[in-house]
Structure 1
Amino acid sequence: MEDAFVQWLRDRLPASPRLKLGPGDDAAVLAWGARRDLVVSSDLLAEGVHFDSGSASPQQIGHKALAVNLSDLAAMAATPVAAVVSLLAPREGAGGLDALALCQGLYAGLLPLAERFDLTIAGGDTNTWSGGLVIDIVILGEAHPRGSLTRAGAAPGDALLVTGPLGGSLLGAHLDFAPRVREAIALRDAYELHAGMDITDGLSLDLSRLAEASGVGAVIDLAAVPIDAAAVRRSAKSGRSPLEHALSDGEDFELLLAAPPAEAQRILREQPAGLSITQVGECVAGAGLQGRGADGTLKPLPAFGYLHR
């Protein structure tokens, strides 16, 4: 539903001279007078979809709610500036807490993360209702001096890089991950990057979106995909392979980058910003995804991952 609705919106929203990049990327980009462009994103998290307040603490939920928004800015290599936080709390509370204590706990989780990235919490709205907890954050950032990193710049021959291991985030990492804000800015500072995004819905699905936005195809070297230990633990119970989890679990919040081959080799050699960067494939002419086995055989690869239906 989500992808179809975004396309529907893109076909109908009127053009604006202020809007340099609209719906369909990790964030919007607005012309902002004499200053660098304004980068804006919003993520809404809901009970039963993005968290379970029966097993996750309010502090963990608050941290995640802000972290996913910061990850959108990281995808664009933007510097965080401010956020507006809206809470829709269950009238009777949740997780053994009344509504007031629940909202206070959410802020206890998100404020340390805001402080870490020098982000101003500028306000928001709070209400109660008869349903589950909902938290929505609008985040504002300043574009990188070299321009915003988008999904649309990859070219045939570009190497595809990821900044860390993938899969198994539902075992806990999705609640306490560190968004790659500083790492993205450092990479944009030092290297030529053609395209980028964060991995939120699974490597294969998100790569298909980057490839489509760039008008290219993509090949994933299946043996090269870095697999998190949590994906191995999930595999023991799910009946799916660790690789399948790494390709499709989502909420890894690592960066997926496309870079020219020589620049990619420099990144891999230097391993900047304390990252463990891996090349997982390359962009090719054409369309669609392919998986390459250890013997070099290419087969079509479905773009599968988390979809809002």
Structure 2
Amino acid sequence: MSQEFHYIRWLRSRTTADPRVLVGPGDDCAVLAAPTRPLLVTTDMLMDGTDFILAEVGPRRAGRKAMAANLSDIASMAGVPLAAVVSVALPRASRELAEQLYLGLRDVADAFNVSIVGGDTNSWDAPLAISVTAFGEATDRGAVLRSGAKPGDWVFVTGPLGGSIRGHHLDFTPRVREALAVHAAVELRAMCDISDGLAADLGHILEESGCGAVLFADAIPTTADAVELSRTSGKSPLQHALGDGEDFELVFTVSASDGAKMLREPPVPGLAKIGECVESGLWLESDGKREPLQATGWVHDF
């Protein structure tokens, strides 16, 4: 029996039963029970040398990040994650790497009741690449898009930002539970996860919604890592919070009345009002002065 089939047998032995999965790994396709609400589908590919340095972080943390990044996309639409398929291109002679990678994927999948139902495994003479496709289900209130923000809305984030390169980008928890709790408490107008950077990802919301926003500099929460990084980077903690990316918090908008309600009765801890939507532009307000803000952040080069 080939190493590939030994590995597949090992995977199947660790796949737990789930009533939503009618047929799991081992056949040509998985078979899932059809959800009763709209299906959400997202996919992300992560690569050694771009999204992590495998020799520094190890395969388990790399696998963890790959699953968490996809579940963060489900969170950004206030969905319930259901299942995932995973395809990997492994460096040759890397059975131990493959097993640790899977365990990292399962660490996050199990935490959110997500079944890994299949995928594909290949090997090559090149660095590790991982592609995860995750499936989720919208709630009865519907999927939250980027396109619903309106002038007068309040802008919130679910937690502090910046300095993710110091480890948070590997070990974050996708804000699935937070999104569902907020979605149940108020009407979410628009939402996006902060993977490219606060300014860039809020910019995606504004572009899709056809409006603008002003951010209040003194209201944007920053991490201790952003403060520490600023000691040597030449950037302020605020600049790190605005543009570092891979915070994997959520940025979202709600009506002013719902925003006030959340401040009085927070549905989850850590929420911060950081700005308000306006007719056009992206602005940063500091000490009563408003300046244009560039939607800077991570951009893949092609």
Q: The TM-score by the shorter chain falls in which range?
A: 0.7 to 0.9
Q: Distance in 1 between matches of 2:260 and 2:224?
A: 26
1:277 paired to 2:271: yes
Per the alignment, residue 43 of structure 1 pairs with: 44
| Matched residue, 2:295 | 303
Shift in Å, 1:277 = 0.7
Which residues in structure 2 correspond to 1:119-198 (within 5 Å)?
A: 119-198=114-193
Encode CA deviations 1:129-175: one digit per residue, 9 max, x unaligned: 11111000000001111110010000000000001000000000111
State how far apart, in whole Å, the 2-side matches of 1:85 and 1:74 are. Answer: 19
Contact 2:35 2:137 in 1 (8 A): no
How far apart are 1:228 and its partner, in Å?
0.5
SS class of match (2:143): coil
Equivalent of residue 110 in structure 2, options 106, 111, 115: 115
Q: Which amino acid aligns with 1:179?
A: P
Structure 1 residue 250: deviation in Å? 0.4
How many residue pairs end up in the alignment? Answer: 269
Which range moved further: 105-114 or 196-205?
105-114
Q: Secondary structure at the match of 2:57?
A: coil
CA offset at residue 271 of structure 1?
A: 2.1
- Aligned residue identity for 1:174: H
Between structure 1 and structure 2, the one with the greater Rg is: 2
C-alpha contact (below 8 Å) 2:212/2:282 kept by paired residues: yes
Given candidates 230, 235, 247, the residue that maps to 1:235 is 230
1:293 aligns with 2:286: yes
1:186 Cα offset (Å): 1.2
Residue identity in the other structure for 1:170? I
Deviation at 1:33, TM superposition (A): 8.3
Deviations along 1:213-258, whole A, 9 cap, x unmatched?
A: 0000111111111010000111111111111000000000101010
> Secondary structure in 1 aligned to 2:55?
coil
Deviation at 1:34, TM superposition (A): 8.2
SS at 2:56 equivalent: coil
TM-score by length of 1: 0.85
Aligned to 1:11: none
> Which residue of the partner structure matches residue 73 of structure 1?
74
Question: What TM-score comes out, normalization by structure 2 length?
Answer: 0.87
Structure 2 residue ranges without an equivalent (≥5)? 1-32
Q: CA deviation at 1:112?
A: 2.2
RMSD (Å), alpha carbons: 1.3
CA contact (8 A) 2:85 2:117 kept: yes
Runs of 4+ in 1 over 4 A off after TM superposition: none
> Equivalents in 2 of 1:36, 1:215: separation in Å?
28
Q: For residue 54 of structure 2, give the secondary structure of its aligned residue in structure 1.
A: coil
Which runs of no fewer than 5 residues in structure 1 stay unpaired?
1-31, 92-97
